[in-house]
A and B are shown apart, each in its own frame.
Chain A
Amino acid sequence: DTGVSQDPRHKITKRGQNVTFRCDPISEHNRLYWYRQTLGQGPEFLTYFQNEAQLEKSRLLSDRFSAERPKGSFSTLEIQRTEQGDSAMYLCASSFRQGHSPLHFGNGTRLTVT
């Protein structure tokens, strides 16, 4: 499978715990995005990487959230001290930098905070 891969598919955690998600983009893609989607809403932009550089972060991304893309390939999104409001689907997408390349999305990680 050469699409965007996300792991785990589901995560259930207790409030206050830390969680980390992983995204493996399509290998030739140098742009990587994280989005969050709650029920009945469209995806909301969280952050963007070009290669290993994090170039944009949404105001939605509180200081409990951190994302990395250390070698410009896979990326991780960590949420510290989870809250019930963090329950959502976390989507990763990647694209080429050149031109108007569409974003290709992974199947997401569904987080439930109890």
Chain B
Amino acid sequence: EDKVVQSPLSLVVHEGDTVTLNCSYEVTNFRSLLWYKQEKKAPTFLFMLTSSGIEKKSGRLSSILDKKELFSILNITATQTGDSAVYLCAPRSGNTGKLIFGQGTTLQVKP
């Protein structure tokens, strides 16, 4: 059965700190891995990773995938209060392209 485990489940940091969020997965017919940010409502897309070892970067956020060890990490540097959210990891499976979500990591950034 497909499985996605995110750690830690929750994290409290202060502004300016750097955080690393982890995602390990076991998914049949793996296609890619996506990261989303969810603040109360719709998950919003952050990154899509298809190849191992190639870092994707957007501002203070970056992410990398290891297809051999079946994990991904999401880094956020110089955190801000606006980064407070649930971060969801979602490997993509099969021909339908459906996403299989982890439980999420709840990040709280204190001023």
Contact = CB atoms under 8 A, between A and B. Distances in A.
A103 B91 CA distance: 12
Nearest to A102: B45
A40 B104 CA distance: 8
A15 interface: no
B34 to A, nearest CB: 6
A103 B42 CA distance: 11
A75 interface: no
Contacts, number: 58
Interface stretch (B56-64, B65-73, B74-82, B95-103): B95-103
A91 to B, nearest CB: 7
A42 interface: yes
B71 to A, nearest CB: 16
Contact of A95 (B43, B44, B97, B101): B97
A97 B92 CA distance: 13
Interface residues of B, number: 24
B96 A43 contact: no
A14 to B, nearest CB: 26
Contacts of B41: 107-108
A102 B34 CA distance: 8
Interface range on chain A: under 10, 10 to 19, 20 to 34, or 35 or more?
20 to 34
Contacts of B7: none
B101 A44 contact: yes
Interface in A78-105: 91, 95, 97, 100-105
Interface of A: 4, 31, 33, 35, 40-45, 48, 50, 55-56, 91, 95, 97, 100-108
Q: Closest 9 CB pairs between A and B?
A: A42-B101, A105-B42, A107-B41, A102-B45, A48-B96, A107-B42, A100-B32, A56-B96, A43-B101
7 contacts: A45-B100, A100-B48, A100-B50, A100-B92, A105-B42, A107-B42, A108-B41
Given A95-B97, A105-B42, 19 more contacts: A31-B96, A31-B97, A33-B99, A42-B90, A42-B102, A45-B98, A45-B100, A91-B42, A91-B43, A100-B31, A100-B32, A100-B48, A100-B92, A101-B97, A103-B45, A104-B45, A105-B44, A107-B42, A108-B41
